[in-house]
Chain A
């Protein structure tokens, strides 16, 4: 009797573990945050959250210059970092794709930044960027080039963080593109050689169009990841100098865990969630006509 009941529902039962995991670890926190975003709560054990409807959203969207600054910086960081990473990553992949000796060794070297812990990466770059005792300014000075203030300058700090992100994540684009290149058919290239196409012509008219879907997939992954960058920013500047590198993630952390405004922090995270979701939908939609 019981076994028949199980047999009939086996297809539901087998997905249950995964389903429960998703509900408990993802759906519940999102819904809880959503509810919290309409309240005012300081994490107090004795004072429960107070319902204030859209109050948090109104104060974020209309009365908070720090929020809009953070939105701008989040987009600037993502756009510039991903653009540079894509261009560099594709170029490096094309260069590495030739059959050369030690290719695997070079590929392994390229993997290293990616597998390093972001916090450790941040601490090391923090030292290298140090204006008076850091190695970057030391080298620039030794070469007679102008030195920068890097993370300590409100105008250079965001660009410095982008540099670190590029250093760490360009290899990911390279690896994905290399995988794409490896799967390309040989015939179009042979045809191009027969037709007398130059190397550059081959790259622009055959290779790039063929690997476009791969590049787009890499860009989508990277964009969503870059959008929520947190660790390197927190370890290197904590959003400073002033608020010059405060992105949405940093601001939500500060609101929640330093200002104890859990409601407002939740509202910000919901806005952030909507932005990421919107971005993913747009990128997905852009991808469709590109897919071959």
Chain B
């Protein structure tokens, strides 16, 4: 009898132990997370790694990925309905964070991050975390950063014996030198579509000493701002391709990638499109340079273009945090950066593995650009869509060669109204 009891106890202990081992291995077994992502190189980079996460945690991931406009709309409609089943989603902090926070759609990640030192928030660029923080709430963890840089044709600059422009004057002179519209070759290309142009114009605005607003006062019609609008408009009108008014990045990038332009200013993330022989005829010929300096120096934006967040309505917050922690952790960040996704983690940039896949010249430019950079590339307000249209109207007027000062005055009034509304 005693022996039997002992045997039973041993078995019971063994069973209990094996259960606890299993539980430690797959603590969230049976949980399903619904994750909505954007069609972005970051998503491509982590997709093959998802099964590792599922095995380690027992969480089943249901991943949807959409183009960014559809993603925004899906999030809006689902969250507004109040019955969303989304647990984790990708978002653009500068475009959405203020509005989404205002609408109560985020779970504050700060308590999670403070309770769980594994995430190591100190490893992130401080400005990147700032971009995700709205009224003290950490709305997301930054995953992708970008700066505005100059893409230029190394071969042509070498042939012509022109050095890469470092100031706005040199920039214009180089554009004028290469501009040859008779042969469909243009000195400069960038975005001209109303709202889409605003982000790429912002670096020009800052470098000329302007800004969207200062201390709640709109500054779109200051002499510096008007000079920036005029410069950008003149550059595209005089040295840009026809039809620039209907160009966002896909069109502008296509012109440069097909070898029809000498210089292109846009976000650094597009370098992989440039180097990809499937998408680009200029691959090896592309050089990268820091944004040209205006009166206020070289002041490109350096922003968090994407972050990953937890929905307020999520019913599996612990599991969702587990996923966010994993996806933004040092290991996965390094893997994503090896897949050419510029991250916001210092450790990934300092690791030789993390910069191996980037052209050396680009890493230099990105590092140099972070000095003196601005943490936002669009008006920093809740009504950002409306504000972008207001600013974009002036850009369009400038490209058309219209009365920039008058347009800027009107835009300044409209923008002030948006600022006042949000006070």
A133 touches B258 (CB 8 A): yes
Instruction: Decide yes or no whether B310 CB sits under 8 A from chain A.
Output: no
B102 touches A154 (CB 8 A): no
Within 8 A of B (CB), among A239-281: 240-243, 254, 257-260
B102 touches A44 (CB 8 A): yes
A242 contacts which chain B residues (CB < 8 A)?
A: 194, 245, 393, 396-397
Q: Using C-beta atoms within 8 Å of the partner chain, give the interface range for chain A.
A: 20 to 34
A237 contacts which chain B residues (CB < 8 A)?
A: 246
B82 touches A45 (CB 8 A): yes
A132 contacts which chain B residues (CB < 8 A)?
A: 184, 241-243, 255, 260
Smallest CB separation, A172 vs chain B (Å): 28
Residue from B82, B99, B246 with most neighbouring chain A CB atoms (10 Å)? B246
Using known A-B contacts A149-B243, A254-B385, A257-B76, determine if residue A44 contacts B103 with beta carbons closer than 8 Å: yes
A149 contacts which chain B residues (CB < 8 A)?
A: 242-243
Smallest CB separation, A229 vs chain B (Å): 18
Bound-state Cα–Cα, A259 to B387, Å = 9
Bound-state Cα–Cα, A73 to B247, Å = 22
Instruction: Decide yes or no whether A113 CB sits under 8 A from chain B.
Output: no
B104 touches A44 (CB 8 A): yes
Smallest CB separation, B196 vs chain A (Å): 9
Cβ 8 A contact of B241, one of A44, A45, A131, A238: A131
Instruction: Decide yes or no whether A100 CB sits under 8 A from chain B.
Output: no
Q: Which 7 A-B pairs have the closest CB atoms?
A: A152-B243, A258-B385, A131-B243, A241-B245, A46-B104, A152-B246, A44-B103
Using known A-B contacts A45-B312, A131-B242, A257-B76, determine if residue A240 contacts B193 with beta carbons closer than 8 Å: yes
Smallest CB separation, B387 vs chain A (Å): 9
Instruction: Decide yes or no whether A151 CB sits under 8 A from chain B.
Output: yes
Using known A-B contacts A131-B241, A152-B246, A242-B194, determine if residue A45 contacts B386 with beta carbons closer than 8 Å: no
Instruction: Decide yes or no whether A153 CB sits under 8 A from chain B.
Output: yes
Instruction: Decide yes or no whether B172 CB sits under 8 A from chain A.
Output: no
B103 touches A45 (CB 8 A): yes
Cβ 8 A contact of A45, one of B80, B242, B244, B393: B80
Bound-state Cα–Cα, A101 to B310, Å = 65
B105 contacts which chain A residues (CB < 8 A)?
A: 45
Smallest CB separation, A257 vs chain B (Å): 6
Bound-state Cα–Cα, A42 to B96, Å = 13
Instruction: Decide yes or no whether B365 CB sits under 8 A from chain A.
Output: no
Instruction: Decide yes or no whether B73 CB sits under 8 A from chain A.
Output: yes
Instruction: Decide yes or no whether A150 CB sits under 8 A from chain B.
Output: yes
The contact string, 1 if C-beta is below 8 Å from chain A, for chain B 380-395, is 0011011001000100
B99 contacts which chain A residues (CB < 8 A)?
A: 42, 260
Nearest to B73 among chain A residues (CB) is A257
Residue from B245, B255, B260 with most neighbouring chain A CB atoms (10 Å)? B245
Instruction: Decide yes or no whether A130 CB sits under 8 A from chain B.
Output: yes
B383 contacts which chain A residues (CB < 8 A)?
A: 259-260
The contact string, 1 if C-beta is below 8 Å from chain B, for chain A 28-46, is 0000000000000011111
Instruction: Decide yes or no whether B251 CB sits under 8 A from chain A.
Output: yes
A157 contacts which chain B residues (CB < 8 A)?
A: 246
Residue from B73, B242, B396, B400 with most neighbouring chain A CB atoms (10 Å)? B242
B243 touches A150 (CB 8 A): yes
Within 8 A of A (CB), among B80-106: 80, 82, 99, 102-105
